[in-house]
Amino acid sequence: MQLSTAPRAASDGRAIRNPYTGETVGWVADCTVADVERALVTAGSYDRSLSGEQRARLLARLADALERDKQRFRALITDEAGMCVKDAAVEVERSIGNLRLAAAEAQRLDGEALRYSKGGVDKLALTLHEPAGVIAVITPFNRPLNQVVVKVAPAVAANNAVVLKPSEKAPLSALAFAELFHAAGFPREMLTVVTGDPRLIGDTLIASPLVDIVSFTGSVRTGESVAQRTGMKKLLLELGGNDPLFVLEDADLALAAKLAADGALATAGQACRAVKRIIVMDAVADAFAHALVDAVARKRWGNPYDPDTDVGPLIDEAAAVEVERRCNSAVDEGASLLHGGRRDGALLAPIVLDHVDPRSALVAEETFGPVAPIVRAGSLDEAIAIANGTPYGLQAGVVTRDATAFLRIARELHVGGVALLDGPNFDSPFIPFGGVKKSGLGREGVRFAMREMSVLKTVVLPWGSMLASTSSPPG
């Protein structure tokens, strides 16, 4: 499958290669600083003329177009990111759902009416959500379509213009989405895509005085760099996580093992909210480890184009080598390898490790790969301390029947979200998503992102006296 943005010359573009086959599947331009500046000027020229009803209609039309074209997008995601076809299908369906919800919310960006008195005069304050203006959006490789939609859909629903820089490793879905976006009837100024060198383009976007908000998803290191250089712009940062799944003494171990295997291995573990640490109470750790190995052993890994494959390649061989290195280091530090570990290029067989030291880089940092590491804890106090003992704070899952224990975990964890009888990978476009500490700033989820991407204006008027003057008959 080929997609090209027609670079000026061979030296002005880059090939996009399939992580599984190594074949070139597309070609995109390397934009220059001047290209990015023109894109920003174009975005700034959007006159905000679309009403909420019009934006809702166009977003619904875009969702319908993606629904009709979903087979092409599924194939494109697998081509450029190596995502298994079953995961790519989920990615497209999530994108369609986000667009439909954004269409519904485009007419519901409401404020509040607040009554108060000052100096004996009754006042009415109206809060209004107005478009922020131009939003610079920078997205990662691991969700090449849905992460674009998660940001673009609420931005345009709130009547903003977007300049989008997709990952240089997987930009093809974003470009194809932009084609659908404009074909649906949106003004050209509302979305521009710039591709190429991430440092050059990213630095130009975040430094530009024409940008009102920077919305970035990526690594903590890059996010911290963005934050240092953005200045007074509003920042929305989703910087990943080191998400725990708690397995307490009374847990349904079959359920816990399924949640752990599914959560650690989906999209080859390349997800910010994937299960990154499985914190298991000592009393059930041996039995859980056996159940987890059985669950992971049932996962098929290999060719992402095979509909029965559960775990495909990582984004490139370098990423697989780094995950392999961290696993080997964890074993050197005392962990036990219970399953997997064989690597073939960018493919890494799903790995189960037990007795992992919570200080090991494998679990102290965010590891993007198909690894299910068990960290044992002797008490609930220790389990909570382990979970809180990293700079991350995105989401967590808990498997227990003990409501008191769950509520304590929910209260004491420094995270953005906690789920009972579910993994930390729980999500819905209807609910807020985001973290604390180094996991980021702001919240995603259509309704919440629309407010993040708006400016709150307050309009105050006299209330009681105005009513009296307007209701009095002429003298």
Task: Give tens-digit pLDDT for 93-102.
Answer: 999 999 999 9
**31 pLDDT more than 90:** yes
Same domain (yes/no): 66, 22: yes
Predicted structure pTM score: 0.93
- Catalytic pick from 80, 91, 105, 238? 238
Evaluate if residue 7 carries a pLDDT over 70.
Answer: no
Across the range 258-281, mean pLDDT stands at: 97
Residue 335 and residue 250 share a domain: yes
CB 20 within 8 A of CB 304: yes
**Position 316 in a domain:** yes
**384 shares a domain with 311:** yes
**Residue 429 in domain:** no
Q: Would you state the pLDDT for residue 469? A: 56
Owner of token pair 């404020």:
111
CATH code where residue 88 lies? 3.40.605.10
Torsions phi, psi of 394, nearest 5?
-95, -85
Q: Mean pLDDT throughout 43-61?
A: 97
Q: For residue 64, what are the domain limits? A: 10-217+445-459
- 8 Å CB contact between 17 and 171: no
Q: Is the same domain home to 159 and 258?
A: no
Q: Say if 464 falls within a structural domain.
A: no
Question: Is the pLDDT reported for residue 365 higher than 90?
Answer: yes
Whether residues 161 and 283 fall in one domain: no
Secondary structure (DSSP) of 360-394: SHHHHS---SSEEEEEEESSHHHHHHHHHSSS---
- Give me the helices (H) in 69-196, please: 70-81, 85-105, 146-157, 172-183
Q: What was the pLDDT predicted at 3?
A: 34
Question: Residues of the chain with pLDDT > 90: what percent?
Answer: 92
Angle between helices 172-183 and 70-81 (to 10 degrees): 160
Residue 62: the pLDDT is 98
Q: Tell me whether residue 272 is one of the annotated catalytic residues.
A: yes
- The answer on 160 and 87 residing in a single domain is yes
Q: Do residues 278 and 356 both lie within one domain? A: yes
In a domain, 436, yes or no: no
**Residue 231, in any domain of the structure:** no
Whether 309 and 449 map to the same domain: the answer is: no
What is the domain count for the chain? 2
Q: DSSP letters along 10-43, please?
A: GGGEEEEE-TTT--EEEEEE---HHHHHHHHHHH
Q: 14 has which bridge partners?
A: 28
- Asked if residue 134 has pLDDT above 90, the reply is yes
| 119 alpha carbon, distance to own chain's centre | 48
Lowest mean pLDDT among 120-124, 320-324, 386-390: 120-124
190 and 152 in a common domain: yes
- d(Cα 463, Cα 20) in Å, to the nearest integer? 66
Q: Are residues 317 and 203 in the same domain?
A: no
434, two tokens: 């985001």
Asked if pLDDT for residue 388 goes beyond 50, the answer is yes
* Local confidence band at 464 (pLDDT 50, 70, 90 cut-offs): confident
Average pLDDT, the chain: 94
Answer yes or no: do 256 and 402 share one domain: yes
258 shares its domain with 382? yes
Residue 36 within a domain = yes
Residue 344: give its domain's CATH number. 3.40.309.10
d(CA 53, CA 58): 9
Question: Is 268 contained in some domain?
Answer: yes
Distance CA 50, CA 159 (A): 7
Q: What would the pLDDT profile of 163-199 be if each residue is shown by its tens digit?
A: 999 999 999 999 999 999 999 999 999 999 999 999 9
In a domain, 380, yes or no: yes
- The active-site residue out of 84, 272, 444, 452 is 272
